[in-house]
C-alpha cells in the first residue's frame, strides 16, 4: 500500500545505469569466464574489469576482491573461512564479536562455537550501540584468532571506530573483519584507512542488484573456502561467476563513490529533518544509536509502549514503508536485541522504528511522512 519508500537500509532499487550496464551479460556476453574459447574470454575480461573497478574504488589489489552472492555470504566466508584456516594452522580458537552484529555474523560465530569447538565472546556496546576499542583490546587473548565488528549497525545506524579497532588488532596479530554492508553504501571506504583484514559488502544496499556481494580479503590472510568446487575467485569461492550481477555491483559501487558527497549531503539533510521533527512532535520518543556518528541516511527511534510491528503496518497503510528492529513479516514482536544490549528496557525495545532515506527521496515525501507519523503513534497508543 506504500507509495513512499523510507526503508533504504533494507534494500534499494537498482539504478537505471546499473541495469543498463548489466544487460549485455544476460545475452551477448554470456560465456563462462573459465572457458577456453572466446565466449569465455570475453566474459572473463568483463569479470576482471569489474574486479579492477571495485579494487580501485576501495583501494586494494584486484586479487583481494572475492565476489560472493551477498553480504551475508561474505560474512559467512570471512568468519568460517578464517576460523577453519586457523584450525588448519593449529592456531587458537577464540573469536570476538560485538553484541550488535548482523545475524550473518552472530549466527555464523555461534555455529562455530556450537558445532566446531571455537570459543566465542561478545564485546559490549555503550548506550549508543558503539564499541569502545579499549574493550576490544581488553578481551583479546593470546589464543584470539579473529575479531569481527560491524562497521555501521543496520538497526541503529551507529558507526564504529573500525580503524582504531583494526590497529590494535593488528598490533596483537589478530585478524579483524568488518561487516560494512551498510557503511559501504554511504562512505567511500578505503582499505588503507580502515586497515582491516576482511570487509563485507552487498550490492543491493547501494542501488545494485540483490544476490551479489563481495568480500575484501587482504593479501596473505589465511582463508579456506566455505563453498568448495572449482578454483574460481582465487580458490576462495567455487561457482561460475554471476557475471551480470557482478558487473552491476561494480557499476553501482563506482557510482556510489563518485556521487558519495552529493548523496551524503542530500540524505543527511533529510535524516536530520526526520530526527528533529520526530523528537519534537512525539512524546516518549527517543533517537536510538549515536546522535552524530551514524549513517547519513539513517534515523532510528524507540517509542515507549508501542508495538513496532503494528506501527510499521499502520504506516504502510498510510503509504509509508519503514521498518522496525523488533518487527518481522511473521509479526513476532521480540524486543530488539540490539536495543536490549544498549540498555533499553523491553517497554522501549519493542517499539522501534527505522526510517532510512535514499538518494532519490524527496523532501516533500519526508514532510508528508512527518505529518502522518505523530498521528499514527497517537492512534496506536490509544489502543486498549
The catalytic residue positions are 328
Q: Which is nearer to other proteins, 42 or 350 (CB)?
A: 350
Residue 384, burial from CB neighbour count under 10 angstroms (0-12, 13-18, 19+): exposed
Pairing mode, strands 144-148 and 298-303: unpaired
Is residue 255 classed as helix, strand or coil in its secondary structure? helix
Residue 42 cell numbers, joined:
570475453
Contact status: 336 vs other proteins (CB under 8 A): no
Contact status: 36 vs other proteins (CB under 8 A): no
Q: Which is nearer to other proteins, 309 or 352 (CB)?
A: 309
Helices (H), 89-158: 103-116, 133-139
Q: Where does residue 59 fall: left (phi above 0), alpha (psi -120 to 50 degrees), or beta otherwise?
A: left
Q: Which is nearer to other proteins, 31 or 335 (CB)?
A: 335
Query: Residues in contact with other proteins, total (CB under 8 A)?
Result: 18
DSSP of 278-343: HHHHSTTEEE-S-SSSB-TTEEEEEETT--HHHHHHHHHHHTEE-B-TT--TT---PPPHHHHHTT
Contact status: 375 vs other proteins (CB under 8 A): no
Binder of other proteins out of 14, 212, 310, 349 (CB under 8 A): 310
> Rounded to an integer, what distance in angstroms lies between the CA atom of residue 89 and that of residue 29?
41
Residue 207 cell numbers, joined:
542501488
> Phi, psi (5° rounding) for residue 352?
-95, 155
Binder of other proteins out of 333, 337, 341, 347 (CB under 8 A): 333
CB of residue 336 vs other proteins: minimum separation in angstroms? 14
Contact status: 384 vs other proteins (CB under 8 A): yes
Residue with cell 570459543: 119
Contact status: 331 vs other proteins (CB under 8 A): yes
> Rounded to an integer, what distance in angstroms lies between the CA atom of residue 312 and that of residue 215?
33
> Rounded to an integer, what distance in angstroms lies between the CA atom of residue 223 and that of residue 80?
8
Q: Where does residue 342 fall: left (phi above 0), alpha (psi -120 to 50 degrees), or beta otherwise?
A: alpha
Is residue 120 classed as helix, strand or coil in its secondary structure? strand
Contact status: 1 vs other proteins (CB under 8 A): yes
The stretch among 31-39, 69-77, 237-245, 323-331 that binds other proteins (CB under 8 A) is: 323-331
Q: Which is nearer to other proteins, 207 or 303 (CB)?
A: 303
Binder of other proteins out of 253, 307, 335, 344 (CB under 8 A): 307
CB of residue 380 vs other proteins: minimum separation in angstroms? 6
The stretch among 43-51, 266-274, 327-335, 360-368 that binds other proteins (CB under 8 A) is: 327-335
Q: How far is CA 256 from CA 70, 92, 193, in A?
A: 17, 39, 18
Contact status: 330 vs other proteins (CB under 8 A): yes
Binder of other proteins out of 135, 163, 313, 341 (CB under 8 A): 313
Contact status: 317 vs other proteins (CB under 8 A): yes
Q: Which is nearer to other proteins, 124 or 333 (CB)?
A: 333
Binder of other proteins out of 18, 96, 314, 353 (CB under 8 A): 314
> Phi, psi (5° rounding) for residue 268?
-65, -35
Contact status: 90 vs other proteins (CB under 8 A): no
The stretch among 75-83, 211-219, 329-337, 357-365 that binds other proteins (CB under 8 A) is: 329-337
CB of residue 290 vs other proteins: minimum separation in angstroms? 29
Binder of other proteins out of 27, 38, 142, 332 (CB under 8 A): 332
The stretch among 118-126, 144-152, 249-257, 303-311 that binds other proteins (CB under 8 A) is: 303-311
> Rounded to an integer, what distance in angstroms lies between the CA atom of residue 374 and that of residue 117?
50
Q: Which is nearer to other proteins, 65 or 314 (CB)?
A: 314
Residue with cell 522501534: 352
CB of residue 378 vs other proteins: minimum separation in angstroms? 10
Summarize as ranges the residues that interact with other proteins (CB under 8 A).
1, 307, 309-310, 313-314, 316-318, 329-333, 379-380, 383-384
Amino acid at each position: 500500500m506504500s507509495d513512499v519508500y523510507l526503508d533504504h537500509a533494507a534494500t534499494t532499487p537498482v539504478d537505471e545505469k546499473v541495469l543498463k550496464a548489466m544487460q549485455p551479460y544476460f545475452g551477448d556476453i554470456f560465456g563462462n569466464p573459465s572457458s577456453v574459447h572466446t565466449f569465455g574470454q570475453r566474459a572473463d575480461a568483463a569479470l576482471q574489469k569489474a574486479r579492477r573497478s571495485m579494487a580501485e574504488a576501495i583501494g586494494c589489489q584486484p586479487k583481494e576482491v572475492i565476489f560472493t552472492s551477498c553480504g551475508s555470504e561474505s560474512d559467512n566466508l570471512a568468519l568460517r573461512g578464517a576460523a577453519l584456516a586457523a584450525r588448519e594452522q593449529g592456531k587458537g580458537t577464540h573469536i570476538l564479536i560485538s553484541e550488535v552484529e548482523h545475524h550473518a555474523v552472530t549466527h555464523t560465530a555461534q555455529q562455530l562455537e556450537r558445532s566446531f569447538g571455537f570459543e566465542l565472546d561478545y564485546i559490549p556496546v555503550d548506550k549508543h550501540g558503539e564499541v569502545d576499542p579499549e574493550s576490544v583490546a581488553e578481551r583479546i587473548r593470546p589464543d584470539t584468532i579473529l575479531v569481527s565488528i560491524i562497521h555501521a549497525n543496520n538497526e541503529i545506524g551507529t558507526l564504529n571506530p573500525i580503524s582504531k579497532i583494526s590497529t590494535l588488532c593488528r598490533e596483537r596479530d589478530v585478524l579483524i573483519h568488518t561487516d560494512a554492508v551498510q557503511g559501504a553504501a554511504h562512505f567511500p571506504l578505503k582499505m588503507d584507512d580502515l586497515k582491516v583484514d576482511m570487509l563485507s559488502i552487498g550490492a543491493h544496499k547501494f542501488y545494485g542488484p540483490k544476490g551479489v556481494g563481495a568480500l575484501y580479503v587482504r593479501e596473505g590472510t589465511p582463508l579456506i573456502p566455505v563453498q568448495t568446487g572449482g578454483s574460481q575467485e582465487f580458490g576462495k569461492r567455487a561457482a561460475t561467476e554471476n557475471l551480470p550481477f557482478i558487473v552491476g555491483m561494480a557499476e553501482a559501487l563506482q557510482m556510489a563513490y563518485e556521487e558519495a558527497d552529493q548523496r551524503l549531503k542530500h540524505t543527511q539533510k533529510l535524516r536530520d529533518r526526520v530526527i528533529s521533527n520526530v523528537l519534537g512532535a512525539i512524546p516518549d520518543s527517543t533517537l536510538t544509536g549515536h546522535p552524530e556518528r551514524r549513517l547519513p541516511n539513517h534515523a532510528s527511534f524507540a517509542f515507549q509502549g508501542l508495538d513496532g510491528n503494528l506501527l510499521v503496518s499502520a504506516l504502510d497503510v498510510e503509504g509509508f514503508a519503514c521498518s522496525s528492529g523488533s518487527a518481522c513479516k511473521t509479526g513476532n514482536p521480540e524486543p530488539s536485541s540490539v536495543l536490549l544490549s544498549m540498555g533499553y528496557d523491553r517497554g522501549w525495545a519493542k517499539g522501534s522504528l527505522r526510517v532510512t532515506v535514499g538518494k532519490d527521496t524527496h523532501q516533500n515525501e519526508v514532510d508528508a511522512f512527518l505529518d502522518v507519523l505523530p498521528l499514527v503513534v497517537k492512534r496506536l497508543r490509544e489502543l486498549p
